[in-house]
Structure 1
Amino acid sequence: MPKTTKDKELDKMYKDLLETRDSARSSSKSEGNRLLTFFIGLLMLGGGLFMIFQNIEVTSSWGFGGYFFRIGNIGLPNGLIMLPIIAGIAMLFLMDRKIFGWVVLSIGIIIVLLSVMMTTHLRWHTTNAYVFIVMFGLVAAGGGMVLRELFRRD
C-alpha cells in the first residue's frame, strides 16, 4: 500500500518528536550534572571558608582605659558614644516630625558600629603547610566550579 502525503507528514512528525525527546533526555542529564557540579563547588567553597575562618582570632581593644576617643589628656568615655542613640530614641517619642529622631538614632548606631570595628584586631593562628594548602585549595577549586557553572554559555 503506497504512502500518502498525510502518512509521510505523520512519519516526519513522529521522527521530529523522537528527536526532541532524545535531545530533552540528554539535556536533562547535562542539567543534573551541572547542578551537581555547582553544589559540590559550593560545598567545597563553604568548607574552605569555614576552615579559614576557624584559623582567625578576633580580639578587640574597645574600652581600653575606659575611653573610646582621646585627644591629649582629654578622653571621651565609652558610655558617651551611647548618648546619640538615647537622644534619638527620645526624639522619636517626643517630636511630631520623627525624621530628626531617625537621623540622630542612625548616627548613633553608626558611631557605635564604627567604634567597635576600629578597635577590632584579626590574628592568624599558626598552622602547617598542608592545612594551609587544603584551606585555600578548597576555596579556589570550589569558587572555580561555582563560577564556571554560573557563567557557562550553552
Structure 2
Amino acid sequence: MPKTNRDKELDKMYRDLLETRDSMRSANKSDGNRLLTFFIGLLMLGGGLFMIFQNISVSSSWGYGGHFFSIGGFHLSNGLIMLPIIVGIGMLFLMDKKIFGWIVLSIGIVIVLLSVMLTTHLSWRTTSAYVFIIMFGMTAAGGALVLKELFRKD
C-alpha cells in the first residue's frame, strides 16, 4: 500500500520527536556532568585553600615593648589607645545626644583593630615541595573548574 502525504508527514514528525528526545537525554547528561564538575572544583578549591592556610603561622607583636607606634621621640603606648573606647563608653552614659559617644567609641574600636592588624606577622611554615605543589595545584585546578562551569556559554 503506497504511503500518502499524510503518512510521510507523520513519519517525519515521529523522527523529529525521536531526535528531540535523544538530544534532551544528552543535554540532561551534560547538565549532570556540569554540576558534578562544579562541585568537584569547589571541593578541590576548598581543600587547597585549607591546606595553604594550615601552613601559615600568625603571630603578633602587640603588647611587646608596650608601644604601638612612635613619632619622633613620642611613644604612644598600647594602654593609651584604649582611651577613646573608655571615653566613648562614658559619653554614652553621660550625654543626652548619644551619637557623639557612638562616634568616639567607634573610632576607639577602629584604632584598636588597626593596632592589632598592623602588628600581626604572617610566616610560611617549612613544607616539602610535594605538599607545596599539591596545595597550589589543587587550588588552581579547583578554581579553574569552578570558573569554567560558572562562565560556560551554552
Q: Shorter-chain-normalised TM-score: which range?
A: 0.7 to 0.9
Aligned twin of 1:148: 148
More moved, 37-46 vs 98-107: 98-107
**Residue aligning to 1:47:** 47
Query: Cα offset for 1:125?
Result: 0.9
Residue type of the partner of 1:52?
I
**1:88 CA drift (Å):** 2.3
Query: How do 1:82-93 and structure 2 match up within 5 A?
Result: 82-93=82-93
Q: Which runs of 5+ in 1 are unaligned?
A: none
Query: TM-score, normalised on structure 1?
Result: 0.81
Which string of whole-angstrom CA distances, capped at 9 and with x for unpartnered residues, describes residues 64-91 of structure 1? 2112222344322212212222222333
Aligned-partner Cα distance in 2 for 1:64–1:31: 57
CA distance, structure 1, for counterparts of residue 136 and residue 83 of structure 2? 44
Hey, what's the Cα distance between the residues in 2 that align with 1:114 and 1:40?
38
Partner of 1:27: 27
Which residue does the alignment assign to 2:135? 135
Q: CA deviation at 1:32?
A: 1.4
* Cα distance, 1:29 vs structure 2: 2.0
Give 1:20 shift.
4.9
How far apart are residue 42 of structure 1 and its match? 0.6
Report Cα offsets for 1:14-52 as digits up to 9, x if no partner.
Answer: 776655554443322222111111110011011111111
Paired residue type of 1:37: T
**Structure 1 SS opposite 2:152:** coil
In the alignment, the residues of structure 1 paired with residue 153 and residue 64 of structure 2 have an alpha-carbon distance, to the nearest angstrom, of 55
Aligned mates of 1:12, 1:95 — CA distance in 2: 86
Greater Cα shift, 50-59 or 104-113: 104-113
Unaligned runs of 5+ in 2: none
How many residue pairs end up in the alignment? 153
SS in 1 for 2:79: helix
The whole-number CA distance in structure 1 between the counterparts of 2:122 and 2:97 is 42
More deviation in 87-96 or 49-58? Answer: 87-96
Under a length normalisation based on structure 2, what TM-score does the superposition of the two structures give? Answer: 0.81
Letter in 1 for 2:58: V
